[in-house]
A and B are shown apart, each in its own frame.
Chain A
């Protein structure tokens, strides 16, 4: 059973296009996240949703728009893609409350290449 899944695994597109990445978790968690990992493997949080409500919104261009239709899904839509958007994007989820709220479960990642 896949705990956190993302689609697609790979995404190659041209500058200026709009694309979406989808994420689903079957762990029953209330909180979901989007992270960006750059070429140096630095992992940085972009957004976090708790039960469909946006709770973390880091300094991210407004071309990036997350959407959470329900607490098991968190999608990421990117408008007007730029070369600098090329990276691996990870979805993650965690519980709410207690020590386990620190523990995040990651998806396999989506490698986005903008040409």
Chain B
């Protein structure tokens, strides 16, 4: 069974600080996605990374896929209260059903003023 461990589980920071969330596995994934989920809503896709070593930027968010395609990180620069939410990574298995994602354990981020 593939497992995606996220760290930290919880993160409470002040506005303007930087942070990094990690998503690690012993399995290789064909691609990896990051989602953000706000209370009472469904997860919303932020980014998909496909190539080992790939880096994608989305405004203040920087996503990196590990060279071996087993891990990923999400870095937020100058966090804002609007970044508050549950961040989930999700991996698509190599050689498996592309649509069958394995979700990570989640990182709950709170950004305060």
Contacts and interface: CB of A to CB of B under 8 A. Distances in A.
A33 B101 CA distance: 11
Nearest to B105: A42
Given A102-B33, A103-B33, A45 B101 contact: yes
Given A41-B86, A42-B103, A43-B88, A99 B45 contact: no
B100 interface: yes
> Taking each of B42, B50, B99, which has the highest tally of chain A beta carbons within 10 Å of its own beta carbon?
B99
Interface of A: 4, 31, 33, 40-45, 48, 50, 55-56, 90, 92, 94, 96, 99, 101-109
Interface string B34-55: 0101001111110010100000
Majority DSSP secondary structure for residues of A touching B:
strand
A56 B102 CA distance: 13
Nearest to B42: A106
Contact of A55 (B37, B44, B97): B97
Contacts of A96: 99
Closest 8 A-B residue pairs measured CB to CB? Answer: A106-B42, A43-B103, A41-B106, A102-B92, A106-B43, A101-B98, A102-B31, A90-B42
